[in-house]
Structure 1
Amino acid sequence: MEIIQFFIDLLQDPRSFIAEWISSLGPLGAYGPIFLIIFIETGVVIMPFLPGDSLLFTAGFFAADGQGLNLAILLPVVWVAAIVGDQCNYWIGREFGRRIIDSGRVKSMTPERIEKTEAMLDKYGPLAIFLGRFFPFIRTFVPFFAGMGRMHYRKFFLFNVLGGIVWSSVFTLLGYFFGGIPVVQEHFELVIVAIVLISLIPAVGGVLKAKFGKKR
């Protein structure tokens, strides 16, 4: 339960966590937890609920105006974390996907999320690897199902690299350029909540569409 509480607290107030990492681990050491959380969210299919978007935004804020992180180091760190995470998830799906699905132990892998992920892969093919980056939960499941479906590895790799770089860069640079604005500073926690809610809109919309679509 402690690990769950840790991630809940991190989701609510990533600024305090990154400040603590910089203080206790030093600027260079702080990149480690950031890398690890982004990697786990994208690379471990049982952990799709980690706050990737808000963490990237907050890390970008700490890279602005010499607040402890360096953008030239931070960007490659989150690029590698996002790319390697999806690579790991692809091979998990490829080697163990069906057994994981059949076990029913991954509670976050609901029928609605499975259906939405498979529909995205069917509709967009390899491009879904890129697009899925911008959907919480879905971005964890897409590489898993791509591996399970034996998507051609070169196609997967190309769109994984493109998606990982674009997604992590967008949210990091948003924090870098806009995190220091006074109104954002004064309401930082609300901004983080807004980022989480906005990023969840497509996923919630997909679930509602699937639910009410079936009733019709």
Structure 2
Amino acid sequence: MEDFHWTKLFNPEFYITMEINGVPIGIYMVLFIVFAETGLFAGFFLPGDSLLFLSGIYNRELIETFFIIPSDFSNVIILAVLIAIAATLGNIFGYWFGSRSGNYLYTKEDSFFFKKKYLIDSQVFFEKHGGKAIIFARFLPIIRTFVPIIAGIVHMKKAKFMFYNILSSIMWSFTLVFAGHYLYGFFLDELDIDLKKHIEKIILILIGVTTFPLVMKAIKSRKKETTD
């Protein structure tokens, strides 16, 4: 059995290819992580965008856990829909948590699983963009974990929240899953490059792309503090 190291917890491929007693459970892990990252405030450290992108690459292996479908397009559609549902449910749980007891987070002490700074940054982001923040947040690590909680805290209208929730879940899921699937096919067929052999590079690129807006925001905030 391959030795386990805690750093694998940050590697999306680890979850996608996970097995228990020889039985693949990758699809269950993907759906749970999507739910947890968007519904549980402790899920901010879990892989999100890179997980969906790699799920598009491994779509056949994931869907074959349930049934075998010859059509690649059908596999990708089913996978994207399942992920969108998990993301929608995750946001609903985050909204519910925020509406019921989210205020206590502002008095909660920092820990490994919770940083008050992330909550405050998400609140500023939400106040700036309103309902559209739910859509923008889907594509921003950490922010997407806390924005639905903020929406619950401020008691955003449920109908409005659900509209942006469902729309953002579909956009996020279909964009990244389809990108992973079709880019994998393009690189393999046109350039004879198997992206499965370059997973670490893909993860680093995706992390860089998705965290760039947050890094720039942090730099701007730092400059503003120094000039005030």
Contact 2:110 2:116 in 1 (8 A): no
Corresponding residue for 2:115? 109
Q: What is the SS of the residue equivalent to 2:41?
A: coil
User: Does 2:107 align with 1:99?
Assistant: no
Aligned to 1:9: 8
Structure 1 residue matching 2:17: 3-state secondary structure? helix
What is the distance in 1 between the residues matched to 2:76 and 2:23? 18
Seq. identity, %: 29
Q: Which amino acid aligns with 2:204?
A: V
Contact 1:116–1:206, Cα closer than 8 Å, also in 2: no
TM superposition shift of 1:205: 1.6
Residue 72 of structure 2: aligned partner: none
Partner of 1:58: 54
CA contact (8 A) 1:82 1:164 kept: yes
Q: What is the aligned counterpart of 1:191 among 175, 188, 202?
A: 202
Q: Which protein is bigger by CA-based radius of gyration? A: 2
Partner of 2:171: 166
Give the CA deviation at 1:15.
2.8
Change (3 A) 1:103 1:17: closer
TM-score of the superposed pair, with normalisation by structure 1: 0.85
Q: CA deviation at 1:150?
A: 1.0
Question: How many Å separate the matches in 2 of 1:168 and 1:22?
Answer: 26
Structure 2 gap ranges (5+): 64-74, 188-192
Tell me the secondary structure at the aligned position of residue 213 of structure 1.
helix
Residue pair 2:16, 2:62 contacting (<8 A) in 1 also: no
Change (3 A) 1:67 1:22: farther
Within 2, Cα distance between the matches of 1:110 and 1:208? 19
Answer yes or no: is 1:19 the counterpart of 2:25.
no
Task: Please list the CA deviations of residues 58-96 of structure 1 after superposition, one character each: whole Å capped at 9, or x if unmatched.
Answer: 111012xx4453323311210111100011001111111
Greater RCO (CA < 8 Å, at least 6 residues apart)? 1
Counterpart residue identity of residue 18, structure 1? I
1:42 to 38, 41, 48: 38
Partner amino acid for 1:36?
A: F
Shift of 1:134: 0.8
Q: How does 1:83-162 map to 2 (within 5 A)?
A: 83-105=88-110, 108-111=114-117, 113-162=118-167
Determine the structure 1 residue equivalent to 2:69.
Answer: none
2:29 to 25, 30, 33: 33
Taking structure 1 as reference, are residues 133 and 68 closer, same or farther at Cα in structure 2, changes over 3 Å only?
closer
Output the amino acid matched with 1:120.
Answer: F
The answer on whether the counterparts of 1:15 and 1:58 sit within 8 Å (CA) in structure 2 is: yes
Provide the rounded CA distance (Å) in 1 between the counterparts of 2:105 and 2:111.
7
Report the equivalent of 2:87: 82
- Please tell me whether the aligned partners of residues 22 and 68 of structure 1 are also in contact (alpha carbons under 8 angstroms): no
CA RMSD of aligned residues (A): 2.1
- Residue number among 158, 175, 178 corresponding to 2:180 in the alignment: 175
Shift of 1:20: 3.4
Structure 2 length normalisation: TM-score? Answer: 0.81
Matches of 2:200 and 2:136 in 1, distance apart?
27
Deviations 1:149-201 (A, max 9, x none): 11111111100100011011111111111134216344221011110121011
Equivalenced residue count is: 205
